[in-house]
Amino acid sequence: MTTQPFHPCQALADLLLPHLPLDNGDGSHDLTHIHRVWSNARRIQAREGGDLAILLAATLLHDCVAVEKNSPLRAKASTLSAEKAARILADLGWPGERISAVAHAVASHSFSAALTPETLEAKILQDSDRLDAIGMVGVARCFYVGGRMGSALYDFTNPSAAGRDYQDRQFSLEHFHTKLLKLASGFQTGEGARLAAERHRRLELFVQGFMDEIGGPQP
């Protein structure tokens, strides 16, 4: 990471970073996650356009209210973050129209919230966040979160979940089938979809290799 990890908007980042709950104990939603989302957003914005300041504010604040994966409030996490983001930006003197643009992007980025992004910046943020859930980083995050939640790696008696519903809260491998392998089909921008297709293939190769190593059936 360079001395300006949020280039070319580092000055704005320096204003917003103190408002983040950086010590939330969740390594899948920490500052490294935010930086990866920003890197994804810049790659997409370079092809698709969009307001970088709105994108950075939305990226930095998209998880500013930390809610655990197994919390009953999980579906409301992005709305809570959007409300907090609006208060933070209002205190910094941002105009209402730009605050609303950031709040919408934050509220609609989440898979759990199931809200449709209406602006280019909101579409880019959703794509950028979802890119971090697939590919090799997505593999690492999946098993990291599963470990935090007390999940097993897989069901050794039935690793492919044959004849039953997937149980991804008990077995991390099954989260690939309930969510991760479905994400690539829902991207909002052309560049996001292109990057997602590459990372989706990496997920498929991982699952194939994993099943081969445990002696399970190939997907």
| pLDDT tens profile 44-79 | 999 999 999 999 999 999 988 877 666 666 668 889
Sign of CA dihedral 56, 99, 103, 51: negative
* 82-99 mean pLDDT: 97
* 199-213 mean pLDDT: 97
* pTM score, whole prediction: 0.91
Domain map (residue ranges) of the chain:
1-113, 133-219
CA distance 219 to 177: 10
CATH value of 1-113 in 1.10.3470, 1.10.472, 1.20.1440, 1.10.287 = 1.10.472
What are 145-175's pLDDT values in tens digits?
A: 999 999 999 999 999 999 999 999 999 999 9
How far from each other are the two terminal CA atoms of the chain, in whole angstroms? 37
Residue pointed to by tokens 């979802």: 130
Q: According to the model, what pLDDT value does residue 69 have?
A: 65
Q: What's the CATH fold of domain 133-219?
A: Hypothetical protein af1432 (1.10.3210)
- Quick check: do 1-113 and 133-219 share a fold? no
Q: For helices 120-131 and 52-61, what crossing angle results, to 10°?
A: 50
Give phi and psi for 134, each to the nearest 5.
-125, 175
Q: According to the model, what pLDDT value does residue 22 have?
A: 65
**What percentage of the chain exceeds 90 in pLDDT?**
79
- The answer for residues whose C-beta is within 8 angstroms of residue 116's C-beta and 6 or more apart is 108
| Mean pLDDT lowest among 17-21, 24-28, 137-141, 200-204 | 24-28
Give phi and psi for 171, each to the nearest 5.
-130, 115
Say yes or no to pLDDT of 27 above 80. no
Q: According to the model, what pLDDT value does residue 70 have?
A: 64
Say yes or no to pLDDT of 111 above 80. no
